[in-house]
Amino acid sequence: MTGSKSSFSDLLSDWERDGFFVIKELLSQDDLILLRAQLFAIRNTARVQTGVRRVVVGSSQSPIIEKISGLAFTEGKFRDVAMSDKIKRLLKLIYPQSDGHLFRDVVVVKPARSGCRLSAHQDSAYWPVKPTNLCSFWIALTDIKQENSPLVLIPGSHKRGVLPHSIWLFDRIKFPKTFLRVLMAVNARAGVGDNYQITGTGGVLSRVKLTLMGRLSRLSKLFFRLTDLAVSSEETSGAIQLHLTAGDAVVFHSCLVHGSTPNTSDVERIAAIFSYMPSESTIKGSLISDFPKL
**Residue ranges binding ligand AKG (CB under 6 A):** 108, 118, 123, 149, 258, 260, 271, 273
Instruction: Pick between residue 92 and residue 243 the one whose CB is nearest to ligand AKG.
Output: 243
Nearest-approach distance from CB 226 to ligand AKG, in angstroms: 16
Nearest-approach distance from CB 244 to ligand AKG, in angstroms: 11
Nearest-approach distance from CB 128 to ligand AKG, in angstroms: 15
Nearest-approach distance from CB 9 to ligand AKG, in angstroms: 28
In whole angstroms, how far apart are CA 199 and each of 83, 129, 186, 257? 19, 10, 13, 23
Instruction: Pick between residue 30 and residue 266 the one whose CB is nearest to ligand AKG.
Output: 266
Q: Which amino acid is at 258?
A: H
Q: At what angle do helices 8-18 and 85-94 cross, to 10 degrees?
A: 60
Nearest-approach distance from CB 118 to ligand AKG, in angstroms: 5
Instruction: Pick between residue 187 and residue 260 the one whose CB is nearest to ligand AKG.
Output: 260
Nearest-approach distance from CB 13 to ligand AKG, in angstroms: 24
Instruction: Pick between residue 92 and residue 168 the one whose CB is nearest to ligand AKG.
Output: 168
Q: Which residue is closest to ligand AKG by CB?
A: 260
Instruction: Pick between residue 94 and residue 108 the one whose CB is nearest to ligand AKG.
Output: 108
Instruction: Pick between residue 123 and residue 235 the one whose CB is nearest to ligand AKG.
Output: 123
